[in-house]
Amino acid sequence: MAIERTFSIIKPDAVAKNLIGAIYHRFETAGLKIVAAKMVHLSQEQAEGFYAEHSERPFFKALVSFMTSGPVMVQVLEGENAVLRHREIMGATNPADALAGTLRADYADSIDENAVHGSDAAASAAREIAYFFSDEEVCPRTR
Ligand code: RTP
Ligand code: MG
Residue 19: per-residue pLDDT: 98
Domains along the sequence of the chain with CATH = 3-42+71-137 (3.30.70.141)
Q: Which of 42, 124, 112, 43 lies closest to 83, judged by CA?
A: 124
* List 41, 54, 86, 117, catalytic entry: 117
**Ligand 1, residues 6, 61, 75, 93: which to mutate, most atoms within 8 A of Cβ?**
93
pLDDT confidence of residue 140:
87
Atom of ligand 1 nearest to the CA of 53: 12
**Residue 5: predicted pLDDT:** 98
Encode the chain (143 residues) as per-residue pLDDT tens digits.
689 999 999 999 999 999 999 999 999 999 999 999 999 999 999 999 999 999 999 999 999 999 999 999 999 999 999 999 999 999 999 999 999 999 999 999 999 999 999 999 999 999 999 999 999 999 988 88
Instruction: Tell me the ligand closest to 113's alpha carbon.
Output: 1
For residues 131 and 50, the answer to whether their CB atoms sit within 8 Å is yes
Q: Is the CB of residue 64 below 6 angstroms from any atom belonging to ligand 1?
A: no
End-to-end CA distance of the chain: 19
- The verdict on the CB of residue 86 being under 6 Å from ligand 1 is no
Catalytic annotation present for 25: no
Query: What is the structure's pLDDT at 142?
Result: 83
- Indicate if ipTM > 0.90: yes
pLDDT of residue 26: 98
pLDDT at 11: 99
Tell me how far apart the alpha carbons of residues 71 and 16 are, in angstroms, rounded to a whole number. 8
